[in-house]
Structure 1
Amino acid sequence: MYRKLLVATDGSPLSKKAVRSAIELAGAVGAELVALYVVPRYPVSYFEGGVSIAPQEIARIEQQWSDKGQAVVDAVRDTAQAAGVKARAVVSRSDLVAESILSAAKKYKCDLVVMASHGRRGLKRILLGSETQHVLTHSTVPVLVLR
């Protein structure tokens, strides 16, 4: 059925539910698990009068975010391995979360993407869209979305 699952997580309670389900599914079908956390780049403003932040401070903040992401996927990997599921922890750096998920699924040859529905509601959803919706629309492999 499935040989390799990608689970996208951000450490939130809803994504933890997706992680639990992905580990259970991987265990049931004997699949490997790839846990992915996408770290955003620090936003830099170029508008006149904007607050200027030293490059060292930006690097420190991005490293802090990356360390948090690594801790999240390491915990997923450890939980999966404790359940007898072979797992890999991956951190990606990008502002394009959905594209990073799709790219990782392709890179690691995953045949299922598991993720939570983090969609925005109302006008924000119309204007900004949804990472989950983008993955659903552009994925070449099945996507399991958990609510």
Structure 2
Amino acid sequence: MYNRILIATDGTELSDKAVHAGLDLAALCGASVIALKVVSHYPRSYLEGSDLLDLKEAKRIEEQWTAQAEGLLNGIKAFGHERKVNVTTEVVHSDLVAESIVDTAKKRECDLIVMASHGRKGLQRLLLGSETQHVLTHSHLPVLVLR
């Protein structure tokens, strides 16, 4: 049914449920998995919502976020190994999370995207946005959303 599944994670508890469900589905289908974590750039101006830091400090913080993402993805790879699922990992650096998910799925020739939705509603959804909604709107691939 599916040959290559992209599982997008942000490291939250809800996202972990989507990761496990995606790995279970991959095991059932005999599919391989691309585990993806999008790491935002550190804001570099007051307009982006940050105190001004020198470039060295901003780079150090971004490297720390990247290391945390790699640790998270290595854990997913280990879960996949337990389920006999081939998992490759990818960290993408971008402030455009949904676009990065859709682009990576296309680039890696995936046939399904698995991700979580935090289920925000009303004003909270309007203010915070919804990366999942954006992926659903812009992806030409099937998207499995777990809550």
Q: Superposed, which structure 2 residues align to 1:83-102 within 5 Å?
A: 83-102=83-102
Q: Superposed, which structure 2 residues align to 1:58-97 within 5 Å?
A: 58-97=58-97
**What's the TM-score once normalised by structure 1's chain length?**
0.93
| Alpha-carbon separation, structure 2, partners of 1:17 and 1:114 | 11
| Alpha-carbon separation, structure 2, partners of 1:5 and 1:102 | 12
Question: What residue ranges of structure 1 are gaps of 5+ in the alignment?
Answer: none
Output one character per residue of 1:49-82: Cα deviation in whole Å (capped at 9) or x when no partner.
Answer: x843111000000000000001111110111012
Compared with structure 1, are the counterparts of its residues 51 and 32 closer, same or farther at alpha carbon in structure 2 (3 Å cutoff)? Answer: closer
CA RMSD of aligned residues (A): 1.4
| Alpha-carbon separation, structure 2, partners of 1:9 and 1:56 | 28
- For residue 38 of structure 1, give the secondary structure of its aligned residue in structure 2: strand
Q: How many residues align?
A: 145
Query: Which residue pairs with 1:135 in the alignment?
Result: 135
Query: Which residue pairs with 1:16 in the alignment?
Result: 16
Query: Which residue pairs with 1:37 in the alignment?
Result: 37
| Alpha-carbon separation, structure 2, partners of 1:91 and 1:52 | 25
- For residue 136 of structure 1, give the secondary structure of its aligned residue in structure 2: helix
Aligned partners of 1:119 and 1:132 also within 8 Å: no
Runs of 4+ in 1 over 6 A off after TM superposition: none
Output one character per residue of 1:110-135: Cα deviation in whole Å (capped at 9) or x when no partner.
Answer: 00000000353322322453100000
| Alpha-carbon separation, structure 2, partners of 1:41 and 1:51 | 14
Output one character per residue of 1:25-67: Cα deviation in whole Å (capped at 9) or x when no partner.
Answer: 00001000010000000011156xx843111000000000000
